[in-house]
A and B are shown apart, each in its own frame.
Chain A
């Protein structure tokens, strides 16, 4: 327990500690400050890599592949009077994202070298940002999660607003307000859930009494167990995400009608979903993304696309669906429809862009649509005899797509940044002929853009194909529409490549500044392409980590559909049966 506390806290707070240390550094040594920051990010990456190293058995803190439950979890009281705990842990869903974060942080720090304005402040904010991102993925206490969510928000605002392009203030404020709106909704939902939660009720559910296996997996801490055993009169609220999920699935605590005939969890789902959807982002709340990307400096774009967008998807997988399954079931079609809409909308919008970075940003909207689609394909219903396999495929595809998009979009933004650093413009109509001028750079760019295009053998393909294949058994119509995206994706990526890299000559300004790619840039681009190829050829490298946890979640929800939701639906149709009675007698 202590070792887990130290390990995870080290990962999360090492960057913050580094930021604190940097505050005492002299301002006039930017190179030194950048180097120190780089070493800190590398150190974090090495720790996570050590955790991920194959062969971990879960004993000494290393991550155990193939295990579905939370690992390295610990629980320390933080604000006990409000049942707030310093509770963190990783499972397959979060650990892969933690790895992605620490990896991209190193690369983006490497990409920060051309930044020469207020280097010290930049590095401090950057490291704080990393702390926030890692914390979001590891926190299992809702309150802690929210705190990290906000911690991540503020440095981002400054990083865009100070180091950005000409319209940076507009973009930064837009980003900030959008996300803040989302997090306000989230906070409301958090409080709604908190005040309706009751550990006493959960403890009455079979298998979740204190001391039993189900209880132990929730990492509620000894204090909560004592309270539950002592007295059951007062409701015992909790912020524990795992416990809330169990309450959502095994009790009817969140089923009370709240407003306009909808239950509490329906509203909580809507609020949380909006909060996360803004982050993903999905149409129509995506317009902060192109502006933020266009104005943000290259490394921040990499982080933004590579990690920040994943928080939305992560939140939906980790929080929305497990805690509010009833709403998830009712709104599954909305979620998938929005996913498909984003895919098409983003692709069409990308087709019309003239700004290189804007195009890549819209491609992100399109690609993240796959994530929403894969998450939402609730095909484990009566008509498929509760077969969860296709949903597992979709959910895994969505997670894989997040990782793959993290790599390919970060790579794409970096590739745009490389050329922007040289010619200082991004107008797609004023490029051309780069392949002849800078073949190594162009070759790498082709590889990375093809990963975005979803070419087999590269990472983008796996996620897209998994998701697309999972949709058919959910809805034929959505499946067909989602498949059509491949045409548009090919169109905008190939057209872009043609305008930028092919052709006889360079058409824009500063043509003589186009120099071959440097060693530093190579050291950033090559790992990205290498991972894109590795994950594309051998996706199990990622799937082995996350699959058990995701399958567990999907199985839980499928069982919930079978045991709770369907009897409930039958009741609504006035067709009570044995199972329905059983559901009515659910623990209250």
Chain B
């Protein structure tokens, strides 16, 4: 079977199986075995089969393309321009390798699955885009998810029977007693796996956005799994709403892309008629232009709105649009030379990055992730460390070809600030999961920094290694919490004797995250990935001394802090004498189903960073770095247009011996320093951390309160929003409705007045006439005396008078 047909199917199965599992559990969850225990088997087997499919695809990929990137893949960045003519995309029935020239363009398969809506040339579709990065992400996500599913079966077994929730006190003073929700946990996990894999599978940015939201809602459900706890539902809301703030930016980015390009597809898609629809990448980095970044035609045209209007007016009436269109097209290069549309490209990039800021918990939207630790620990391990929060980094990596250098600088600064802030907070936190959460934020900052300084492989490599060791760390912490029923490290200590497997797998995780190793020889996974980042930062600082210095020292300083807080955590938990004997006495090693996944992940956390040396038979070159290298986007990152002097060195420059050695030395020594400091304070307890606290109390307090971000945002955004809402209700109730009601009241008053007029004026007139007539009648009444003789007299007088009158009249 062709790889182009096989991969979409295999990965599609891996993607859709969890959806099937989710649907079944929704419909039949409570009836699956005793207390819904069958749900866990269903969900686990779904993701396990998905993992098999994913790894099989990975092997197929290796089998087809080898372990290593094509020869001199790096040099091709410069060579690309020379090969421009050779790069015309080649087509094969329906499916298409974006470029046949393996040396210069990543190999990717992309095609539409079905269309959501099409309007002329605008098309929004469900599609896939599969390259080495996709395959690698699938393998990583499914493997970790499978481990965590197994682990969760053990961790969540409490939910198999009725649960008494000690954190919830009812109004009658008792603790909440509720039925278990075992199946529901796995239902959400399955939905999450589906969404996360869909995000990676997606072939266009709109579909990424769809699954972006879906992982968000899964995260919402999982954080709020303990729905009875107010803190949990608050944290869930916070997570989703803060993410939506990021999505707000992302939508703007999407609109800018859509308005300018008219497509969301990453790669070029060939439709059934053999017509090629150019995707984002090839529009922004035209192969014919040597993959150099340039504002695409659509953006140029939309930025040159006024000029286009002029041309359209020159060719008015029924001649349109043919004549004008050709003239407009002929003017595009000159507009582009004037940087028309470049701003739109920057807006698109920053907008998309905003989404990533939200999802990957970067400054200033990092506040949700620590609160998200309200969810069960397997969730923290899967969603909030390894996969979902890394999706932002993944998207930045995926979208790197679209980011202008200015955007990359924004990314780098964001990552830099995040890594520093989060690391400082992690130093003071005492909740074991919060330490890990801030560590996650900090590490994500590292990844962003790496991508922002142009380290494509470095950033994504750290994404993969971090996924393994951080999920391992979380699961170990979960194991500890499972044993001690507390999150507070101040109540732990000495647990390594009680739970050795957990303690030593966690040690592996700690060593991996601080980047321990024997310099220049071998090390844990973090050793490789962190070194790559520091080296890239160094390489960047050589080209841009001003910005680069900040990044480099932040990366190095972050390494020291990482080592310090991680070993602080390990020592406080596992080393020394126990702090709380009650907890210590009840602690126990977790069941097999929980610690076996730990061992699997520990092995990966230790080894995933290594690349098999070239001289090794059959497997020479096997490694994550080389896999990622195969997906490296073509083209140079280039130089800033709006910011002159901003230059991006290509990543392979950081492999140069001078840079590499320097970076390793810096990173290793600072990490060692941090480790030693932690050992002095918490391992050997020679120095008392309380003294330091006393000494630097304001700083300590500032850090303990997480830099007062929550309070600040509450003051800046939440309260004003509620105030505006209140104001608007006031406007509605008092102003608009008041106006309407007053209008009605005035109408009634008017009606009343009208009634008065009727009653007293019109009716009065009529009555007056009647009254007059009456009084006239009664006054005339006295004339009718009933006396005949008077009557006769009157008749006579009348007659006489009449005749006299007539006489007079006729006499005239």
Q: Contact between B251 and A287 (Cβ–Cβ < 8 Å)?
A: no
Contacts of A539 in B (CB 8 A): 116-117
Contact (A396, B117) CB under 8 Å given A487-B241, A487-B245, A494-B240: yes
Name A386-439 residues within 8 Å CB distance of B.
Answer: 386-390, 392-393, 396, 433, 435-436
Contact (A393, B122) CB under 8 Å given A383-B306, A570-B313: yes
B591 contacts the other chain (CB 8 A): no
- Residue count of chain A within 8 Å CB distance of chain B: 77
Q: Contact between A502 and B227 (Cβ–Cβ < 8 Å)?
A: yes
Contact code string A354-389 (vs B, CB < 8 Å = 1, else 0): 000000000000000000000000000111111111
Q: Contact between B318 and A385 (Cβ–Cβ < 8 Å)?
A: no
A543 to B118: give the CA distance in the assembly, Å.
9
Contacts of B237 in A (CB 8 A): 491, 494-495, 498
Give min CB distance, B474 to chain A, whole Å: 25
B176 contacts the other chain (CB 8 A): yes
Give min CB distance, B53 to chain A, whole Å: 23
| Size range of the chain B interface in the assembly | 35 or more
Q: Contact between A352 and B224 (Cβ–Cβ < 8 Å)?
A: no
Name B145-194 residues within 8 Å CB distance of A.
Answer: 168, 170-171, 176, 178
Most buried by B among A348, A462, A503, A578: A348
Q: Contact between A348 and B725 (Cβ–Cβ < 8 Å)?
A: yes
B94 contacts the other chain (CB 8 A): no
A450 to B213: give the CA distance in the assembly, Å.
11
Sample (5) of A-B pairs whose CB atoms are under 8 Å apart: A348-B721, A491-B241, A491-B721, A543-B117, A570-B313
Give min CB distance, B361 to chain A, whole Å: 17
Contact (A502, B233) CB under 8 Å given A486-B248, A487-B241: yes
A517 contacts the other chain (CB 8 A): no
A583 to B259: give the CA distance in the assembly, Å.
31
Binding stretch for chain B, among A88-96, A218-226, A561-569: A561-569
| Chain B residue at minimum C-beta to C-beta distance from A345 | B728
Contacts of B306 in A (CB 8 A): 383
Contact (A389, B313) CB under 8 Å given A503-B227, A503-B230, A579-B318: no
A484 contacts the other chain (CB 8 A): yes
Contacts of A567 in B (CB 8 A): 316-317
B622 contacts the other chain (CB 8 A): no
A300 to B737: give the CA distance in the assembly, Å.
22
Binding stretch for chain A, among B95-103, B319-327, B464-472, B649-657: B319-327
Contacts of A551 in B (CB 8 A): 119
Contacts of B206 in A (CB 8 A): 465
Q: Contact between B122 and A381 (Cβ–Cβ < 8 Å)?
A: no
B82 contacts the other chain (CB 8 A): no
Contact (A348, B233) CB under 8 Å given A383-B312, A486-B248: no
A462 to B117: give the CA distance in the assembly, Å.
9
**A residues whose Cβ falls under 8 Å from a Cβ of B:** 174, 177, 284, 287, 290, 345, 348-353, 381-390, 392-393, 396, 433, 435-436, 443, 450, 455-457, 461-462, 465-466, 468-469, 471-473, 479-480, 483-484, 486-488, 490-491, 494-495, 498, 501-505, 538-540, 543, 547, 551, 562-563, 566-567, 570, 575, 577-580, 582-583
B244 contacts the other chain (CB 8 A): yes
Q: Contact between A389 and B120 (Cβ–Cβ < 8 Å)?
A: yes
Residue from the list A443, A457, A503, A566 in contact with B233, Cβ < 8 A? A503
Contacts of A498 in B (CB 8 A): 233-234, 236-237
Contacts of A461 in B (CB 8 A): 210, 213
B66 contacts the other chain (CB 8 A): no
Q: Contact between B729 and A504 (Cβ–Cβ < 8 Å)?
A: no
Q: Contact between B316 and A580 (Cβ–Cβ < 8 Å)?
A: yes
A366 to B241: give the CA distance in the assembly, Å.
18
A465 to B26: give the CA distance in the assembly, Å.
27
Q: Contact between A456 and B214 (Cβ–Cβ < 8 Å)?
A: yes
Contacts of B116 in A (CB 8 A): 462, 538-540
Q: Contact between A382 and B308 (Cβ–Cβ < 8 Å)?
A: yes
Q: Contact between A390 and B227 (Cβ–Cβ < 8 Å)?
A: no
Most buried by B among A490, A540, A582: A490
Q: Contact between A505 and B240 (Cβ–Cβ < 8 Å)?
A: no
Contacts of B236 in A (CB 8 A): 494, 498
Interface of chain B, main secondary structure: helix
Contact (A582, B255) CB under 8 Å given A348-B725, A455-B214: no
| Chain B residue at minimum C-beta to C-beta distance from A385 | B321
Q: Contact between B255 and A468 (Cβ–Cβ < 8 Å)?
A: yes
Contact code string B130-150 (vs A, CB < 8 Å = 1, else 0): 000000000000000000000
Q: Contact between B117 and A287 (Cβ–Cβ < 8 Å)?
A: no
Residue from the list B176, B301, B324, B721 in contact with A351, Cβ < 8 A? B721
Contacts A384-B302, A435-B227 given; 16 further ones with Cβ under 8 A? A174-B740, A287-B736, A351-B721, A386-B321, A389-B122, A390-B122, A433-B228, A462-B117, A469-B255, A472-B256, A479-B255, A486-B244, A503-B228, A540-B116, A563-B318, A570-B316
A491 to B254: give the CA distance in the assembly, Å.
22
B694 contacts the other chain (CB 8 A): no
Q: Contact between A566 and B119 (Cβ–Cβ < 8 Å)?
A: no
Q: Contact between B732 and A349 (Cβ–Cβ < 8 Å)?
A: yes
A235 to B180: give the CA distance in the assembly, Å.
78
Q: Contact between B320 and A386 (Cβ–Cβ < 8 Å)?
A: yes
A290 to B124: give the CA distance in the assembly, Å.
35
Q: Contact between B211 and A456 (Cβ–Cβ < 8 Å)?
A: yes
B78 contacts the other chain (CB 8 A): no
| Chain B residue at minimum C-beta to C-beta distance from A388 | B120
B517 contacts the other chain (CB 8 A): no
Interface of chain A, main secondary structure: helix
**B residues whose Cβ falls under 8 Å from a Cβ of A:** 26, 114-117, 119-122, 124, 168, 170-171, 176, 178, 206, 209-211, 213-214, 217, 220, 224, 227-230, 233-234, 236-237, 240-241, 244-245, 247-248, 251-252, 254-256, 258-259, 262, 301-302, 305-306, 308-309, 312-314, 316-321, 324-325, 328, 721-722, 724-726, 728-729, 732, 736-737, 740, 744
Contacts of A543 in B (CB 8 A): 117
A480 to B370: give the CA distance in the assembly, Å.
29
A348 to B328: give the CA distance in the assembly, Å.
43
A387 to B297: give the CA distance in the assembly, Å.
15
Closest 8 CB pairs of A and B: A579-B317, A579-B316, A472-B259, A352-B725, A382-B312, A456-B210, A351-B725, A472-B255
Give min CB distance, B395 to chain A, whole Å: 15
A328 to B563: give the CA distance in the assembly, Å.
65
Contacts of B247 in A (CB 8 A): 486-487
Most buried by A among B206, B724, B726: B724
Residue from the list A389, A433, A468, A490 in contact with B262, Cβ < 8 A? A389
Contacts of B220 in A (CB 8 A): 494
A396 to B721: give the CA distance in the assembly, Å.
32
A567 to B256: give the CA distance in the assembly, Å.
30
Give min CB distance, A339 to chain B, whole Å: 16
Contact (A287, B737) CB under 8 Å given A487-B244, A503-B230: yes
A10 to B260: give the CA distance in the assembly, Å.
48
Q: Contact between B722 and A351 (Cβ–Cβ < 8 Å)?
A: yes
Give min CB distance, B717 to chain A, whole Å: 9
Q: Contact between A382 and B244 (Cβ–Cβ < 8 Å)?
A: no
Contacts of A487 in B (CB 8 A): 241, 244-245, 247-248
Give min CB distance, B113 to chain A, whole Å: 12
Contacts of B211 in A (CB 8 A): 456
Contact (A385, B121) CB under 8 Å given A436-B228, A468-B251: no
Q: Contact between B248 and A349 (Cβ–Cβ < 8 Å)?
A: no
Contact (A385, B308) CB under 8 Å given A345-B728, A352-B725, A540-B115: yes
Contacts of B254 in A (CB 8 A): 469
Q: Contact between B312 and A385 (Cβ–Cβ < 8 Å)?
A: yes
Q: Contact between A483 and B251 (Cβ–Cβ < 8 Å)?
A: yes
Residue from the list B122, B240, B241, B255 in contact with A483, Cβ < 8 A? B255
Contact (A484, B248) CB under 8 Å given A287-B740, A352-B728, A385-B312: yes
| Chain B residue at minimum C-beta to C-beta distance from A365 | B732
Contacts of B170 in A (CB 8 A): 504-505
Q: Contact between B316 and A578 (Cβ–Cβ < 8 Å)?
A: yes
Q: Contact between A384 and B305 (Cβ–Cβ < 8 Å)?
A: yes
